[in-house]
Amino acid sequence: MKLYGLKTCDTCRKVLKALPDAVLKDVRADGVPPDVLAAAHAQFGAALLNTRSTTWRGLSATEREEPSLDLLARYPALMKRPLIDVDGTLYLGWGADVQAALRG
């Protein structure tokens, strides 16, 4: 189980505590593999982009108009967190539905 997120993210830390078998892949340091990013974008679409982040607020209006997949490849911290990969099945966030699916 791989957890794509940030080592400084509180939610990612909660997930690591709850799922001790998960391995954190810091998106700032390691990035997200292009195939995983493409699969996540295909599954979650615009929901994958965190428009409330400080990275998003720092983008120019022109940059914000670029395709979200291009932005995520260039600025991995724009991705909503965590993105959890369990043998090819992807989960986004740490809501009750994701917790139930992964703990149950």
Domains of the chain: 23-103 (3.40.30.10)
Residues 80, 95: Cα–Cα separation, whole Å: 12
- pLDDT reading at 103 higher than 90: no
Handedness of CA 81, 43, 72, 26 (dihedral sign): positive
Q: What ranges in 19-95 are assigned the alpha helix state H?
A: 34-44, 54-57, 61-64, 68-74
Is residue 12 annotated as a catalytic residue, yes or no? no
Reported pTM: 0.91
Q: Per-residue confidence at 46, pLDDT binned at 50, 70, 90?
A: confident
- pLDDT reading at 104 higher than 80: no
- Active-site position among 1, 5, 7, 9: 9
